Amino acid sequence: MSTAPQVATPTEPADQAHPAVGAATSLLDAYTPGDRFLATPGRTLLARGPGRDVPYDDRPLSARVDATLAAAAAAGQESPVVMGAIPFDHAAPAALSVPDSVRTAPPLASDPLVALPASAPSAGEWRIQQVPEPDIYGKGVASAVERMWRGEFSKVVLARTLELTSGAPLDLPAMLQRLARRDPAGYTFALPTGPGRTLIGASPELLVSRRGSRVVANPLAGSTPRSADLAEDVRRAATLLESVKDLHEHAVVVDAVHQALAPYCTELTVPARPTLIRTATMWHLSTTVTGALASPDASALELACALHPTPAVCGTPTQTARRVIAETEPFDRGFFTGMVGWGDADGDGEWVVTIRCADAEERTLRLYAGAGVVAASEPEAETAETAAKFRTFLTAVGAEL
């Protein structure tokens, strides 16, 4: 018998019980290209200025970040924070910096002014190129399914991209406003990744957060598009909660998260069944894993690096899935399915899976979307899932696929 879908929002309580009206949206309104903006269910952050870039060398990433934070503190900076993006391939350079100063506010969702609508996208023309084309993507899915039936691996996440070119320069502040106001309870970001380049998006998925000894992870796997019709939307949500394929896919990811966090924790709580979370465009199966750290030495970033990449963005076994991705996807993922977030010198922080995002440069946007492919997958369904995930960003820029 079907049950009504449960909807969970894995957020931590706001830092202020009664935050000032406009405190968070004022930071959103103040964003200009080149700034670092990150809004999470716990806080809103805006950093401006060059700061100290985390170096790229042979040391582990967490060690390089710790050293950069320590150098900032030694130079007299009070409560330094690292912010930025880490690519899917940990061996590639990250775009992380310790800004000279960071303005903070309570979460966007707690600010009543976030309910005010953003301005509508301009009526400009977009030239859209699909890479790969949908039929080529479908063939890649079919090939992966065939290899799974031969026993080579059990899951792979395959992505495709849309390359959008505008006749006018990109209006990043307007895009950020639309993304943030459409899903204010999610994780919205705009982070510089190179000269003239910005990673911008609105992710629903927390990889891991640490606050003191408390650890929270929120793996998402298994999804279905929303419907504008309320009855159909509820039916889709209920169907997702009972989908054997999606429940199996989700269980694989939750087990991987459990196994990765267990060495760091004295206790872990893993619910037996997932609930649902929703964005403006998608329903997702969701499990909130909570735990207590065994040692204060493990920072949020160290935990994130231990978890990443989960089967939700890569596949399993991990190394085999990485090879299949490299063989199948005709592009470099870059920061897509990497991590964005923040961390402080005490080890606290939040790191988010980089999905529902785009690389922005001058007049060009490259959008990314992926789908988890298992033995029961059908090419048409996975292609449709990626198309639905593109809607988050297409809506923000007024483009149609």
Largest CA distance in the chain: 63
| Displacement of CA 166 from its chain's centroid (Å) | 25
| Active-site residue flag, 389 | no
- Are 33 and 172 contacting, i.e. CB atoms less than 8 angstroms apart? yes
Rounded Cα distance between 256 and 114, Å, is: 36
Based on the residue annotation, tell me whether 205 is a catalytic residue of this protein: yes
* Residue 108 and residue 373 in contact, taking contact as beta carbons nearer than 8 Å: no
Q: Which long-range contacts (CB under 8 A, 24 or more apart) does 389-392 make?
A: 389/223, 389/281, 389/282, 389/355, 389/356, 390/162, 391/225, 391/281, 392/179, 392/182, 392/183, 392/201, 392/202, 392/279, 392/280, 392/281, 392/282, 392/356
Q: Which residue is catalytic, options 133, 205, 350, 382?
A: 205
Q: Could you tell me how many residues make up the chain?
A: 401
Give dist(CA 134, CA 189) in Å, integer. 28
In this structure, the strands spanning 214-217 and 220-225 are: unpaired
- Residue 176 in contact with residue 191, Cβ under 8 Å? no
Spatial distance between the Cα atoms of 231 and 236, rounded to a whole number of angstroms: 9
Sheet holding 289-293, edge to edge: 52-53, 95-98, 81-86, 339-344, 349-353, 206-211, 214-217, 289-293, 265-269
CA dist 132 and 196 (Å) reads 26
Please, are residues 182 and 203 in contact by the beta-carbon 8 Å criterion? Answer: no
Residue of 133, 139, 146, 155 marked catalytic:
155
All residues at 6 or more sequence positions from 229 whose CB lies less than 8 Å from its CB, including other chains:
none
Query: Which residues are marked as active site?
Result: 155, 205
